[in-house]
Amino acid sequence: MKHSGNPVKPSEAHALSGLSKADWTRGVPDEDSVAILAARFARLIKAPMVLFLQGDLGAGKTTFARAFIHALGFKGYVKSPSYGLLESYPVSGKTILHLDLYRIEDPEELDYLALRDLYDEKSVLMVEWPRKGVDHLPAPDLELEFGEDTETRFISSFAKSIVGFEFNREVLQDF
């Protein structure tokens, strides 16, 4: 699968070792704060990019994806792709591919989605439960972790490629 930041070339290994310098965590106490963060993503995102959305059931992955797709300008309803596995949104010159692998039992089920054909230079791929698709997904640029501590819900972002690192840095500058 074609992808700008991956697989990692040996010459990039040094740069990748510093990727964590741009990682960040943000408290998101309510859905309004998720919408603000998602709007920032919508403003800064450049295709192609792959985002893995990790965290327990109910942690806020779909809420973030929905807010992001709306912030890009999509007017319709953004449903959770839990049943259909994949939803696709053509918006603002990009194609947002929203994938939810919660219900798959075998990563090979992913091959029937023809993701290989759908994912191109205009794509932003967002994947909930990416670990269920091991070896059948393009490598991520960012891993977003959705969680909750005693105080509040939070979203953390971990860069996994140089593209993801640059993106995280821009998001940080905007805080």
| Cβ-closest position to ligand ADP | 60
What 3-state DSSP class applies to 80? coil
* Contacting range for ligand ADP; rule: CB under 6 A; set: 11-19, 59-67, 115-123, 134-142: 59-67
> What, of Mg ion, ligand ADP, none, does residue 153 touch, CB below 5 to 8 Å by kind?
ligand ADP
Helical packing angle, 61-71 and 31-44, nearest 10° = 50
Among 48, 55, 133, 140, binds ligand ADP (CB under 6 A): 55
Task: Judge whether 144 and 64 are in contact, CB under 8 Å.
Answer: yes
Closer CB to ligand ADP, residue 5 or residue 55?
A: 55
Among 3, 26, 61, 70, binds Mg ion (CB under 5 A): 61
Strands 94-100 and 153-159: unpaired
Q: Assess 54 for contact with ligand ADP (CB under 6 A).
A: no
> What, of Mg ion, ligand ADP, none, does residue 130 touch, CB below 5 to 8 Å by kind?
none
Among 62, 95, 157, 168, binds ligand ADP (CB under 6 A): 62
CB neighbour burial string for 114-150, b if at least 16 within 10 angstroms, e if fewer: ebeeebeeebbbbbbbbebbeebbbebbbbbbbeeee
Neighbour count for residue 103 (Cβ, 10 Å): 13
| Cβ-closest position to Mg ion | 62
Determine the Cα–Cα distance for residues 61 and 162; give it in Å rounded to an integer: 23
Interface with ligand ADP (CB under 6 A):
28, 30-31, 34, 55, 57-63, 128, 146, 153
